[in-house]
Structure 1
Amino acid sequence: MSARTDTEASTTQATTGVTPDTLGATLKSKLEAQHVDIADLSGGCGQMFEAIIVSPQFTKKTTLARHRLVNSTLKEEIAAIHAWTPKCFTPEEWEKKRAGGE
């Protein structure tokens, strides 16, 4: 991976409009997410994100169904970036994970 400059990162984010904040706001609004933590793994260029998403809408859904729900919700945003890795939990699963019960 090539090194990215702050200027290049700003240009990419300005062009696509995709930032951790915009992704989080969309997930909270459309999926009723109770917790969203998005990390930019691309070194600041805004092209590779990993997310932890906690939503009651994931209840009784398989991992694949959860990813499909998230991906359809962020269809336009995902098309504008290079890589997207969601980790989806129900509120109950998240509490158990946080308590160390993984």
Structure 2
Amino acid sequence: MKALRRLLPPPRTALTSQRRCSGTDSDSGEARLEELLKTRFPTASAVRVQDISGGCGSMYEVWVESSDFQGLSRVKQHRLITEALAEQIKDMHGLRISTSVPES
């Protein structure tokens, strides 16, 4: 049993999470990204941003539904999102993007 404990990583604690997160406020990060996307896509029928890094602000998931994506490939739609968030992406570990065109 002792040999197994040495092979396993130490349990995560609140202190460990705080050190890794460096005190970022995820709500303000979500709001900031959402505002940038709403500014870039003013006709969007839906914009949602969620911090999926456990509150660290290092990884986000964004959903944007906009008529601006009409006729564009999924790659081009996602490129528009990454261009809108280019400065913020530099400080992120990752970004998960979902886009869609509103149904008529």
Tell me if TM exceeds 0.5.
yes
Which whole-Å CA distance do the structure 2 matches of 1:25 and 1:52 have between them?
13
Please identify the structure whose Cα radius of gyration is greater: 2
3-state SS of 2:54 partner: coil
Contact 1:31 1:57 in 2 (8 A): yes
Q: Distance in 1 between matches of 2:30 and 2:81?
A: 15
**Residue of structure 2 aligned with 1:31, choices 31, 34, 41:** 41
Q: 1:28, 1:34 within 8 Å by CA — same for their partners in 2?
A: no
Gaps of 5+ in 1: 96-102
1:4 counterpart residue number: 17
**2:72 pairs with 1:70:** no
Q: Please give the TM-score of this superposition, normalised by the length of structure 2.
A: 0.73
Alignment of 1:1-102 (within 5 A): 3-5=16-18, 9=21, 11-13=23-25, 19-32=29-42, 33-92=44-103
Q: Aligned-residue CA RMSD in angstroms?
A: 2.4
Give, in whole Å, the separation in 2 of the partners of 1:10 and 1:59. 40
Identity value in percent: 30
One-letter code aligned to 1:26: L
1:83, distance to aligned residue in structure 2 (A): 0.5
In structure 1, give the amino acid aligned to 2:97: P
Structure 2: which 5+ runs fail to align?
1-11
